[in-house]
Structure 1
C-alpha cells in the first residue's frame, strides 16, 4: 500500500518514524512518501518531501508573518498528493495544516488516518466537526481523548502512548561513560531542555541559566535541538555549562533533574524518570491571546493533564523567574518532593498502558 505521511514537528517525526517501522512489519508492500524529519528519512532510506524545520511556526505572530509560506506549502502538498496517488494519508498532529489536507484528500477518495490527535480538548474544539467529516480513523495516544471524542460522536481508538515504545527499547547507559564521551566533568547533571526554535531557545536559556550560580555542585547541560546548529549554542557554553546535540534521552537518563520547556519533552522527561520543572514563557501578546482561546485547563504540561493533578511544578510567564526556579529546583534535587514525584511518574506509566502503540496503530491502519 502507498502511504503519504505528514508530520510537522520533531515529536511527530519521532512517532511517525516508529509507525513507519510498524507499517513495514505489518505490510510488506508498504511504500512511503512523507513530510517529516531525519528519523523518518532513516526508516524510509530517502529524505522527506519537506523537512519539519521548514514548517514549524510557533505563536500567533510568527504564523501571521509566515502565512504566505504556509499557504504555498499547503498548495504544494495537495499537488504532490495528486501526483503520487497514495491509497492512505496518515496525518500526525499538526492540525492547522493537516486538517486542510484531510479535507482535500477525502474529497478525492483517499483514506484518511489521523494518528496523534490535535489538542482539541484544549482549544478549537470546533475542529472535531472536520475530523468527523474528513477522517476515517482517529488513533489517539492519551487515555482521556477517547472519551472526549466519544462525547462528540467520534469512535476513536486509544492505542497507547508511543513514547512508551521508545523508552522500552533504550539500552542501559553508564553516566560516567556518557560524561567522558561528551566532554563533561564529573559533577551530577541538571539537564536543560529549552525547546527547538531559535527565538524560544534564546528566551528560555537566559532564564534557566540564571540559577546556575546557586547550584555550583552541579553542571548544567543543554540538550541541543537537531534543527539548530552547534554554533548557535556556543555563546551559552562555559566551564560549568555544556551542550550535547541529538542525545536528549541519554542526557536525561544521566541527569539528576531537568528544567523543561512545556511540550512533549515534559512527558518524555517523566517517562525517563527524571524529576523536572516545567517552564513556559511567551510574548505578552501571544500569551494574552492564548488565554482567551484556550479552554479552561488547569495545567499546561502533558504530565499534569494526563494525571489530572499537579505532579510537576509549572512555572508560567511571570512565575518563571530566578527566585522560583531556585526554590523548585532545590526541592526536586533532594527530599520528599523528589520522592513523591518519582512515585507519581510510576502511576503515570501505568495510566498510559504498556508499550506497543505503534504496532496497534499499524494493525488498525493496515487491517481496518
Structure 2
C-alpha cells in the first residue's frame, strides 16, 4: 500500500512558478520537462574571443536556469511543487586562453613644490592579466586590481609674521667641529636639526656629540646609516637595492636610539636630496617626512666664510637652510655662523627645529 501511495504521489504533476507564471510539470518533472511544457526555447549563447568578438554563434551556454535562486546547468535537474524556476537564453562562453599575471607598481603622486615632503597614504601595487586566446590568438590586457598611489605633498610652512628659520646640519657628527657648531648655537640660543650619519655616531666620540645636541634641545634625525656608501656611490639611495635602502634608514634610526634611549625622529633627509620614485617606494613607509631645503649655504664646497654668510643672511621667514657639520673640514661653516646668527637675530629671527617648523600650517 505504501508503495502504491508513493507511486501515486510521483505521478502527480509538480506545480511550479516558471518565469513568473504557474506551470504544471509532468513526466520526470525535470527542467527539460518544464521547457517542453512551457514551449520556451532558449537561444544558446556564443563562443567569443578573449576580446569579446564573436568566434562561433550558438556555441556558448545552451541556456540559463535557476531553481529557487540557485544556478543549475543540468536539464535533468528535478523539480518539486512550489519551486520557483527562471529559464532564459544562454550566455556567452569565452575561448580557452593562456593567462599571465603581472604587478602594476604603485607610483607616488606629487603635489606642490615646497621643501617639506610629506607622504600621505600607503602604496599598494595593482595587478594586470594578459590573456592570449588559444583559438583566436588575440592578446588582451586587463587591469584586475588598480594600484593605490600615495600622495607626496611638497609643502611650505605658513609662518605668518613669525620670523623663524630652520637651520639644518648634515653628515655629522664629525670630531670636534660638531661641538664647535653646538657652541655657536648655544651662544645665540638657536635650535637646529641635525641629520646624522649612523656610522659617524658610532666612531670618533660621535655618541657624545649626539647626546649633547639632544640634551640642548636640538632635533636629531637620520641622514642614512653610511650616506649610501658602496652601491649608492655615497650620493644616491636610488642606486641601491630595495633591501639596502631599507637598511640605510633602519640602521640610521638604530644608531640614534642606541645613544638617546628614545625613538628616533621619523623626519629624514636623503643623501644628496635624491628622493626619487624607487627611493620613495622603499623608504616611504618608514618615514614621516623627507626634508629638502630652500637655501643651500654652499658650505659643502668651502667657498669661503663670506660666501656662506651671504647665503645665510638671505634667509626669509620659514626658510630651511642646508649646512654641514660633517663630511670634511667645516671651519668655514663655524665662522660663518658666528657672523650670520647675530645679524639675523638683530633682525628679529629665531632659529627652530624642523618639528617646530612643521607645527605651522603646511600648504
TM tier relative to shorter chain = under 0.3
Q: Counting strand residues as a fraction of each chain, which structure ranks higher?
A: 2
Give TM-score, length-normalised by structure 2.
0.25
Q: Counting helix residues as a fraction of each chain, which structure ranks higher?
A: 1
Give TM-score, length-normalised by structure 1.
0.24
Larger radius of gyration: 2
